[in-house]
Amino acid sequence: MTTLRTIHGTPVLMCADEGGTIGEREALDLIGDAGYQGARWVAVPAGRLDEDFFRLRTGVAGEIVQKFANYRLGLAVVGDVSARTAASASLRDFVRECDRGRQTWFVANEAELAERLRS
């Protein structure tokens, strides 16, 4: 289930915490849904992402992030990923680089997403 919310003037498609795992195919469905509803960002709970997303060697994260970039949609991964980044230097670097940009963010919660969208 998804809900369209406007946060500081930006339409954001919010994915529910409950639901199936989101992999590459489901990411494309979200992109289509976001485009249909006029969203500029999609917020995905970290707990819904396929575990392969967090194992960078699989390429899943790169594929998903690239798909969002191709469609000019922002992707916000919402939730605590600190245990995963503590266990993987490459994931920690990936998250840090994403957070420096304007395309993909890893945020702790919706309040942090709202703050990032404010600027």
pLDDT, tens digit (0-9, with 9 covering 90-100), for 51-76? 999 999 999 999 999 999 999 999 99
Burial class (CB in 10 A: 0-12, 13-18, 19+), 11: middle
Q: Whole-model pTM?
A: 0.95
Q: DSSP 3-state assignment of 1?
A: coil
Q: What is the pLDDT of residue 11?
A: 98
Note the pLDDT tens digit of each residue in 13-27: 999 999 999 999 999
Residue 119 confidence (pLDDT) above 80 = no
- Looking at residue 21, the DSSP 8-state letter turns out to be -
Contact 46, 80 (CB under 8 A): yes
